[in-house]
Protein backbone atom coordinates (compact mmCIF):
# COMPACT_ATOMS: atom_id res chain seq x y z
CA UNK A 1 0.00 0.00 0.00
CA UNK A 2 1.32 3.44 -0.96
CA UNK A 3 2.11 5.77 1.91
CA UNK A 4 2.80 9.50 1.91
CA UNK A 5 6.23 9.79 3.57
CA UNK A 6 6.58 13.56 3.19
CA UNK A 7 8.18 15.09 6.34
CA UNK A 8 5.31 16.42 8.39
CA UNK A 9 6.69 19.83 9.37
CA UNK A 10 7.90 20.54 5.85
CA UNK A 11 4.48 19.71 4.40
CA UNK A 12 2.72 21.71 7.11
CA UNK A 13 4.81 24.75 6.17
CA UNK A 14 4.00 24.34 2.50
CA UNK A 15 0.26 24.02 3.12
CA UNK A 16 0.23 26.51 6.03
CA UNK A 17 -1.21 23.96 8.45
CA UNK A 18 -0.61 24.20 12.19
CA UNK A 19 1.36 21.02 13.12
CA UNK A 20 -0.99 20.66 16.12
CA UNK A 21 -3.71 19.64 13.65
CA UNK A 22 -1.55 16.62 12.82
CA UNK A 23 -0.99 15.82 16.50
CA UNK A 24 2.52 17.33 16.61
CA UNK A 25 3.45 19.96 19.16
CA UNK A 26 6.64 20.89 17.37
CA UNK A 27 6.89 24.23 15.64
CA UNK A 28 8.93 24.95 12.57
CA UNK A 29 11.47 27.73 12.99
CA UNK A 30 11.32 28.55 9.32
CA UNK A 31 8.99 31.19 8.02
CA UNK A 32 6.67 30.10 5.20
CA UNK A 33 7.79 31.37 1.83
CA UNK A 34 5.97 34.45 0.65
CA UNK A 35 3.90 33.83 -2.44
CA UNK A 36 4.85 36.12 -5.29
CA UNK A 37 1.42 36.13 -6.82
CA UNK A 38 -2.13 35.55 -5.72
CA UNK A 39 -3.39 32.00 -6.19
CA UNK A 40 -5.95 31.33 -8.87
CA UNK A 41 -9.36 29.95 -7.97
CA UNK A 42 -8.24 26.55 -9.20
CA UNK A 43 -5.06 26.81 -7.12
CA UNK A 44 -7.06 27.55 -3.97
CA UNK A 45 -9.37 24.59 -4.61
CA UNK A 46 -6.44 22.25 -5.27
CA UNK A 47 -4.73 23.44 -2.10
CA UNK A 48 -7.77 22.59 0.03
CA UNK A 49 -7.83 19.07 -1.40
CA UNK A 50 -4.10 18.67 -0.75
CA UNK A 51 -4.59 19.77 2.86
CA UNK A 52 -7.42 17.29 3.45
CA UNK A 53 -5.49 14.43 1.85
CA UNK A 54 -2.39 15.20 3.91
CA UNK A 55 -4.18 15.62 7.25
CA UNK A 56 -6.06 12.33 6.93
CA UNK A 57 -3.27 10.46 5.14
CA UNK A 58 -5.34 9.58 2.10
CA UNK A 59 -4.04 9.26 -1.47
CA UNK A 60 -5.85 10.49 -4.58
CA UNK A 61 -7.73 7.37 -5.70
CA UNK A 62 -9.17 6.70 -2.26
CA UNK A 63 -9.95 10.39 -1.72
CA UNK A 64 -11.85 10.52 -5.02
CA UNK A 65 -13.80 7.47 -3.92
CA UNK A 66 -14.77 9.25 -0.70
CA UNK A 67 -15.93 12.26 -2.72
CA UNK A 68 -18.06 10.08 -5.02
CA UNK A 69 -19.62 8.46 -1.95
CA UNK A 70 -20.29 11.84 -0.34
CA UNK A 71 -22.00 12.97 -3.54
CA UNK A 72 -24.47 10.09 -3.30
CA UNK A 73 -25.40 10.76 0.33
CA UNK A 74 -28.28 13.11 1.06
CA UNK A 75 -27.11 16.46 2.41
CA UNK A 76 -24.24 18.88 1.73
CA UNK A 77 -21.52 17.08 -0.19
CA UNK A 78 -18.60 18.87 1.51
CA UNK A 79 -19.94 18.11 4.98
CA UNK A 80 -20.57 14.49 3.96
CA UNK A 81 -16.98 14.21 2.72
CA UNK A 82 -15.55 15.48 5.99
CA UNK A 83 -17.79 13.15 8.01
CA UNK A 84 -16.54 10.19 5.95
CA UNK A 85 -12.91 11.17 6.57
CA UNK A 86 -13.51 11.69 10.29
CA UNK A 87 -15.19 8.29 10.65
CA UNK A 88 -12.13 6.38 9.43
CA UNK A 89 -10.94 4.05 12.19
CA UNK A 90 -7.41 5.49 12.28
CA UNK A 91 -8.82 8.98 12.79
CA UNK A 92 -11.15 7.75 15.54
CA UNK A 93 -8.22 6.09 17.34
CA UNK A 94 -6.36 9.42 17.14
CA UNK A 95 -9.39 11.43 18.27
CA UNK A 96 -9.92 9.14 21.27
CA UNK A 97 -6.32 9.73 22.37
CA UNK A 98 -5.04 6.19 21.82
CA UNK A 99 -2.33 7.49 19.46
CA UNK A 100 -0.46 10.79 19.36
CA UNK A 101 -0.83 11.34 15.61
CA UNK A 102 -2.94 9.93 12.80
CA UNK A 103 0.16 8.27 11.36
CA UNK A 104 0.75 6.53 14.67
CA UNK A 105 -2.95 5.61 14.84
CA UNK A 106 -2.74 4.07 11.36
CA UNK A 107 0.19 1.92 12.44
CA UNK A 108 -1.59 0.93 15.66
CA UNK A 109 -4.59 -0.27 13.66
CA UNK A 110 -2.50 -2.10 11.07
CA UNK A 111 -0.66 -4.00 13.80
CA UNK A 112 -3.97 -5.37 15.07
CA UNK A 113 -3.98 -3.48 18.38
CA UNK A 114 -7.52 -2.13 17.96
CA UNK A 115 -10.89 -3.83 18.30
CA UNK A 116 -14.30 -2.67 17.09
CA UNK A 117 -17.23 -4.18 18.94
CA UNK A 118 -14.93 -6.83 20.42
CA UNK A 119 -13.41 -7.93 17.10
CA UNK A 120 -9.95 -7.08 15.87
CA UNK A 121 -9.92 -4.70 12.90
CA UNK A 122 -6.61 -3.98 11.14
CA UNK A 123 -7.92 -1.78 8.30
CA UNK A 124 -7.21 1.94 8.96
CA UNK A 125 -9.86 3.03 6.44
CA UNK A 126 -12.58 1.00 8.17
CA UNK A 127 -15.55 3.32 8.73
CA UNK A 128 -17.11 3.33 12.17
CA UNK A 129 -20.87 3.59 12.70
CA UNK A 130 -23.05 5.05 15.41
CA UNK A 131 -22.93 2.79 18.47
CA UNK A 132 -19.59 1.17 17.61
CA UNK A 133 -17.22 0.58 20.51
CA UNK A 134 -13.56 1.13 19.63
CA UNK A 135 -11.04 -0.20 22.13
CA UNK A 136 -7.41 -1.16 22.53
CA UNK A 137 -7.13 -4.95 22.58
CA UNK A 138 -6.48 -6.19 26.18
CA UNK A 139 -3.03 -7.65 25.52
CA UNK A 140 -1.79 -4.37 24.00
CA UNK A 141 -2.95 -1.95 26.70
CA UNK A 142 0.51 -1.81 28.28
CA UNK A 143 2.37 -1.02 25.06
CA UNK A 144 4.61 2.01 25.61
CA UNK A 145 3.39 4.02 22.55
CA UNK A 146 -0.23 3.65 23.67
CA UNK A 147 0.56 4.55 27.27
CA UNK A 148 2.51 7.61 26.10
CA UNK A 149 -0.36 8.62 23.82
CA UNK A 150 -2.84 8.40 26.69
CA UNK A 151 -0.65 10.63 28.85
CA UNK A 152 -0.33 13.15 26.01
CA UNK A 153 -4.09 13.05 25.38
CA UNK A 154 -4.84 14.55 28.79
CA UNK A 155 -4.56 17.95 27.10
CA UNK A 156 -6.74 16.96 24.14
CA UNK A 157 -10.45 17.53 23.81
CA UNK A 158 -12.36 14.49 22.61
CA UNK A 159 -14.96 15.63 20.05
CA UNK A 160 -18.61 15.59 21.10
CA UNK A 161 -19.51 12.78 18.70
CA UNK A 162 -17.25 10.41 20.64
CA UNK A 163 -17.20 9.29 24.26
CA UNK A 164 -14.05 7.87 25.83
CA UNK A 165 -13.35 5.78 28.91
CA UNK A 166 -9.64 6.39 29.29
CA UNK A 167 -9.29 3.88 32.14
CA UNK A 168 -10.63 1.07 29.94
CA UNK A 169 -8.96 2.45 26.80
CA UNK A 170 -12.33 2.26 25.12
CA UNK A 171 -14.51 4.72 23.25
CA UNK A 172 -18.03 4.81 21.84
CA UNK A 173 -19.23 6.46 18.64
CA UNK A 174 -22.25 8.44 19.83
CA UNK A 175 -23.10 9.68 16.34
CA UNK A 176 -21.39 10.48 13.06
CA UNK A 177 -19.83 13.95 13.19
CA UNK A 178 -21.60 17.07 12.01
CA UNK A 179 -19.78 20.01 10.44
CA UNK A 180 -19.61 22.00 13.70
CA UNK A 181 -18.05 19.02 15.51
CA UNK A 182 -15.07 18.80 13.13
CA UNK A 183 -12.48 21.23 14.41
CA UNK A 184 -10.43 21.52 11.23
CA UNK A 185 -13.55 22.76 9.43
CA UNK A 186 -14.84 25.09 12.14
CA UNK A 187 -11.40 26.72 12.58
CA UNK A 188 -11.23 27.16 8.80
CA UNK A 189 -8.20 24.93 8.34
CA UNK A 190 -10.13 23.27 5.51
CA UNK A 191 -12.98 24.65 3.42
CA UNK A 192 -14.73 21.52 2.09
CA UNK A 193 -16.79 23.55 -0.39
CA UNK A 194 -13.63 24.41 -2.32
CA UNK A 195 -12.92 20.68 -2.66
CA UNK A 196 -16.43 20.11 -4.00
CA UNK A 197 -15.96 22.98 -6.46
CA UNK A 198 -12.72 21.40 -7.66
CA UNK A 199 -14.30 18.04 -8.40
CA UNK A 200 -17.32 19.74 -9.97
CA UNK A 201 -15.24 21.49 -12.63
For residue range 50-107, what is the model confidence (pLDDT) as tens digits? 999 999 999 999 999 999 999 999 999 999 999 999 999 999 999 999 999 999 999 9
What are the phi and psi torsion angles at 169 (to 5°)? 50, 50
Contact, 50 vs 16, CB < 8 A? Answer: no
136 Cβ contact list (under 8 Å, min separation 6): 98, 113, 114, 115, 146, 169, 170
Q: What is the CA radius of gyration of the chain?
A: 17
What is this structure's pTM?
0.86
Rounded CA-CA distance 28/18 in Å is 10
Least confident of 44-48, 180-184, 187-191: 187-191
Condensed to tens digits (0 to 9), the pLDDT of residues 131-175 reads: 999 999 999 999 988 999 998 888 788 999 999 999 999 999 999
Task: Write down the architecture of domain 88-176 according to CATH.
Answer: Roll (3.10)
- Show the DSSP H helices in the chain as ranges: 8-15, 41-56, 60-72, 77-86, 89-96, 102-110, 144-152, 183-186, 192-199
Rounded CA-CA distance 180/123 in Å is 27
Question: Which CATH fold would you assign to the domain 8-27+39-85+187-199?
Answer: Ribosomal Protein S4 Delta 41; Chain A, domain 1 (1.10.1050)
For the chain, what are the domain ranges? Answer: 8-27+39-85+187-199, 88-176
> Does position 33 have pLDDT exceeding 60, yes or no?
no
Q: How confident is the model at residue 28 (pLDDT cuts 50, 70, 90)?
A: very low
Amino acid sequence: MAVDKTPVLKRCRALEIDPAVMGYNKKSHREPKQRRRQQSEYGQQLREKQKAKFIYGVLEQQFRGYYDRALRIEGITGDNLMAILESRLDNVVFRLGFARTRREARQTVRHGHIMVNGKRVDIPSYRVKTGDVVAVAPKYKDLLPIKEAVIASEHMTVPAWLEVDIEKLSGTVLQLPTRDQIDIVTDETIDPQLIVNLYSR
